């Protein structure tokens, strides 16, 4: 640890104000970046969480050092870390196309609370360094993450008469390097002329010609119909 902060690690009125002010600045910096990107939790939410974490840590120190209570000074801070999960969950939403948004904001809220606990405990170096790294991650890695290739899942609905037809379709998908992530099969109650329905969730490992895939599946004997499902 840096020796320049050694004189500021004791609990005094001056250090209390310093820790709260640092929590205000660090939480505000993270929240400002989220506000610029119009995310659910902005500057005020991050400031409140960071200051709350700092107060929780200082309260534990005060009860142990000043009030003379034989308590675990880390228990309050640990409760803050676990309780932040409920707040972060409120920023996570699932859109109509089954994509998840708000995870980065939820993680930032959780990290802001931990930074507040660190600053409130007098660990200035860790809190400030974590703030800088979080800002770099949220601001600089956004464009990088968009360049990472990602192939979304798609679903096919099949209607067929014989179970061997489904086996041929699944074998063909594997040969074309398609990952089968889910399979749901239902059948009719007519034993004389049974008709089966299947929904296959797939993910391509490379480029995929959907029209060619559907055309091949339609050519499989006993396949009555195949179509791509849209969300």
Closest CA to 48 of 31, 61, 34: 31
Between 82 and 201, the higher pLDDT residue: 201
d(CA 49, CA 33): 15
- Between CA 168 and CA 158 the distance in angstroms is 12
Matching residue, tokens 């061997």: 164
* DSSP SS3 for 154: strand
13-36 helix and 103-120 helix, angle to the nearest 10 degrees: 170
pLDDT at position 22, please?
94
- Whether the model pTM is above 0.75: no
Selection from 2-6, 69-73, 113-117, 159-163 with the highest mean pLDDT: 113-117
pLDDT 10s digits, 69-98: 666 777 777 787 778 777 777 777 766 655
Res 19: pLDDT: 92
Whether residue 112 contacts residue 49, with contact meaning beta carbons closer than 8 Å, is answered with: yes
Strand-strand pairing, 223-229 and 178-187: unpaired
Overall size of the chain counted in residues: 231
Q: How confident is the model at residue 42 (pLDDT cuts 50, 70, 90)?
A: confident
160 versus 11: which is more confidently predicted? Answer: 160
Report helix angle 75-89 to 43-65, nearest 10.
160
Nearest-angstrom CA–CA distance, 125 and 118: 9
Domains detected in the chain: 3-147 (no CATH), 154-229 (3.30.70.260)
CB 105 within 8 A of CB 42: no
Residue 98: predicted pLDDT: 58
Q: Name residue 154's beta-bridge partners.
A: 202
Per the prediction, the chain carries an average pLDDT of 82
């Amino acid at each position: 640890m840096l020796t320049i902060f050694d004189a500021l690690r004791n609990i005094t009125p001056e250090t209390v104000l310093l820790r709260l002010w640092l929590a205000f600045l660090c939480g505000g910096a993270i929240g400002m970046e989220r506000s610029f990107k119009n995310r659910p939790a902005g500057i005020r939410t991050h400031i409140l969480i960071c200051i709350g974490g700092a107060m929780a840590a200082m309260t534990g120190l005060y009860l142990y050092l000043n009030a003379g209570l034989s308590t675990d000074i880390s228990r309050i801070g640990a409760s803050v870390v676990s309780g932040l999960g409920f707040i972060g969950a409120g920023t996570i939403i699932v859109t109509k196309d089954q994509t998840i948004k708000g995870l980065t904001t939820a993680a930032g809220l959780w990290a802001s609370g931990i930074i507040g606990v660190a600053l409130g405990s007098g660990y200035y170096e860790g809190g400030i360094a974590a703030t800088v790294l979080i800002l770099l991650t949220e601001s600089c890695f956004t464009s990088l993450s968009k360049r990472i290739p990602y192939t979304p899942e798609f679903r096919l609905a099949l209607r067929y008469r014989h179970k061997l037809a489904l086996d041929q379709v699944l074998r063909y998908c594997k040969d074309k390097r398609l990952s089968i992530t889910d399979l749901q099969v239902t059948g009719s109650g007519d034993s004389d002329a049974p008709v089966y329905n299947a929904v296959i969730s797939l993910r391509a490992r490379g480029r995929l010609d959907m029209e060619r895939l559907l055309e091949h599946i339609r050519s499989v004997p006993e396949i009555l119909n195949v179509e791509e499902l849209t969300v």
